[in-house]
Amino acid sequence: MKNKLKWFGIIALVAIIGISITACGGPSQNIYEGIANAQIYSLVITQKRSFTPDPDGGDIYKLTFGMNISEGEVISFNGTIFNLKPSVAGPNTFNVTVSGNDLAGFDPSTPITITSGVNTGSTITGPQTLLGGSFIGTIGSGWPSKDVRDQFGIGNMNAPSGPNFEWGLVKQEGIGGIGASTVLSIKFINYTPATTTYITTWFTNNGWTSIQLSYWKDLFVATYDTVNANLAHLTIMSVNFDFDDDD
């Protein structure tokens, strides 16, 4: 009888150790991305429990767009809509709609509270509709070719060493054809601090006007932002003010 109890005790101990080792794998992350007005919006959901297959209430969120960050807690997720509570005291929750891995839009009736960045403490109404971060239009792996870069004023920007790249072209229509734009979006996968230094220095040394971490030159507007320790984005919008005049 004592031997049986001893073996049951050993089996239980092994089971506990096994569960502990499994849990030590760390929480997983879900990343949703969308593009609006040459700006990439990235929503990172960090799950508190590594064995939970889908996002859930109590998980942690981080929303990044340009120099603005909103962080806090996931209140609920119904499969398409996140209800998010910023970490600072006082603000209301806001809603974000996702579709697959794309961030599809924000509820205009629930503004986003910025918890850190250039607009800390303020509220911003997010775009109601975003284009998918998975790129709508041309898709390429590696660094964009020079003929593509030339169209966005960065023809002599070479690929920074270190990260891998994915890029895409997204069309955004203006009103009546006026203000239509094309966006070049480049993802830097496994970037390094040297990547950020190279990009920001390149814009400064090539005649672009710096506005925080956005840059402007001629009819181009560029934004560089980091999503997490592994992913950064560069988006450049080329605005076309041409329109047909039949009169």
pLDDT band at 242, cuts 50/70/90? very low
Query: CA–CA separation, 241 vs 170, rounded Å?
Result: 17
pLDDT of residue 139: 65
Q: Is the pTM of this model over 0.85?
A: no
**How many Cβ atoms from other residues are within 10 Å of residue 78's Cβ?**
7
Q: Where do the domains of the chain lie?
A: 29-132, 139-240
Hey, CA dihedral for 171, 124, 186, 55, is it positive or negative?
negative
* 138-171 pLDDT, tens digit each: 567 899 988 889 889 999 999 998 899 988 887 6
* 42-89 pLDDT, tens digit each: 899 998 765 555 676 789 999 988 778 899 999 999 999 999 999 987
Among candidate residues 70, 76, 72, the one with its CA nearest the CA of residue 55: 76
